[in-house]
């Protein structure tokens, strides 16, 4: 198990190094790492420290957050097709960004608005999916997924109705660029706030691996084993929502990472929730680093939208992984 995690760490190091080295100014690995430690000419030092490093760390943070959130929701719902965006985070964030653009708020506030919109929508989804009352209340996972889909549809419809009526073409283009997802221009001032709430959520998720394992057995079984089902559900869901909202606020919508990452992790680490969580985080980092590198270098002088590139590359990969999983189920 640990050997496989070591392989993932080496792949992550390779992806990290490639992102440091490649771009409009290509550097050797030795040059890139030397510049990272402050040795080299001033121009290249600025490229590494102020442009490439915050961008690649942003990509890694997004992959880590989405893949971990996807694993949490898949395990909690016992559905390997569950996606972090099913909680309504993406549509709520998009609605918040659309409102900010229409009102004319400063663009520097867009990440905060996206975070608040996504978190608010997800909180409403949890309220709608709660059942029972008092200390016996719990969250119905099927109802949560259906509520997320319904609210996402409402938010998307609201955007499609309001933007053409009240927005200009420039506003619509700005929203479209955000929806396509990307990391162009990301800097330390955007990365650090996102890391402040994303990394603690990851720590909570890792510490909840035992509760996650019990919940995956079913609510009644988990309760019979002494687990506080309602509290555990809320902690895990809050972690998943915070991770997803943090990623969306930083990059816009980047699909398939929350689906593919957990599937790859389970192939590397077949059992053990804590190790699978760690593997999911590593797989997500590798995926987004590779996709962002492709977005920067595939077309010289242009940058492809990260979300679109991830969808084009991730769709076939996910179909392949899903077919392999189905074949294994049939064989059993």
Any idea what the CATH number is for the domain that residue 299 is in?
1.10.3470.10
Q: 247 with 182: CB under 8 angstroms?
A: no
Nearest CA among 148, 151, 147, 92 for reference residue 119: 92
Q: Is the pLDDT of residue 182 over 60?
A: yes
* Structural Rg of the chain based on CA atoms: 20
**Domains in the chain, number:** 1
Q: Which residue, chain included where needed, has tokens 């987004």? A: 288
Mean pLDDT along residues 286-295:
93
Q: Kindly report each contact of residues 170-174 with a partner whose C-beta sits within 8 Å and lies 24 or more positions away, as own/partner.
A: 171/101, 171/102, 174/101
At residue 79, the pLDDT reads 80
- From CA 198, how far away is CA 202, in angstroms rounded? 6
Q: What is the extent of the structural domain holding 140?
A: 2-331
Mean pLDDT along residues 135-148:
74
The more confident residue out of 17 and 24 is 17
pLDDT confidence tier of residue 133, bands split at 50, 70 and 90 = low
Q: Is the pLDDT of residue 118 over 80?
A: yes
pLDDT digits (tens, 9 = 90+) for 297-320: 888 878 888 888 888 888 887 787
pLDDT digits (tens, 9 = 90+) for 52-91: 999 999 999 999 999 999 999 988 888 888 888 888 888 8
């Amino acid at each position: 198990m640990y050997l496989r995690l070591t392989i993932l760490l080496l792949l992550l190091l390779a992806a990290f190094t490639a992102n440091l080295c490649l771009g409009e100014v290509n550097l050797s690995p030795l040059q890139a790492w030397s510049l990272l430690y402050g040795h080299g000419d001033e121009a290249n030092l600025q490229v590494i420290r102020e442009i490439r490093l915050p961008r690649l760390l942003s990509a890694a943070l997004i992959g880590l957050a989405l893949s971990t959130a996807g694993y949490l929701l898949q395990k909690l719902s016992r559905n390997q097709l569950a996606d972090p965006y099913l909680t309504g985070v993406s549509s709520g964030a998009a609605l918040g960004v659309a409102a900010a653009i229409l009102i004319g708020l400063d663009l520097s506030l867009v990440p905060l608005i996206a975070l608040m919109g996504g978190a608010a929508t997800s909180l409403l989804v949890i309220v709608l999916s709660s059942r029972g009352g008092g200390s016996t209340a719990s969250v119905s996972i099927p109802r949560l997924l259906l509520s997320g889909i319904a609210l996402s549809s409402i938010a998307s419809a609201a955007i499609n109705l309001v933007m053409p009526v009240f927005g200009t073409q420039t506003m619509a283009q700005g929203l479209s660029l955000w929806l396509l997802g990307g990391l162009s221009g990301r800097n330390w001032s955007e990365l650090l706030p996102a890391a402040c709430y994303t990394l603690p959520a990851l720590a909570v998720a890792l510490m909840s691996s035992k509760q996650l394992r019990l919940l995956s057995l079913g609510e009644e079984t988990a309760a019979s084993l002494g687990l506080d089902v309602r509290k555990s559900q809320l902690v895990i869901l809050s972690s998943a929502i915070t991770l997803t909202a943090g990623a969306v606020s930083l990059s816009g919508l980047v699909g398939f990472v929350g689906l593919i990452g957990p599937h790859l992790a389970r192939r590397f680490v077949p059992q053990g929730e804590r190790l699978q969580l760690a593997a999911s985080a590593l797989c997500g980092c590798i995926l987004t680093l590779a996709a962002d590198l492709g977005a920067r270098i595939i077309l010289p002088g242009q940058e492809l939208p990260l979300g679109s590139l991830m969808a084009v590359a991730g769709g076939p990969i996910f179909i392949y992984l899903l077919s392999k999983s189905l074949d294994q189920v049939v064989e059993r």
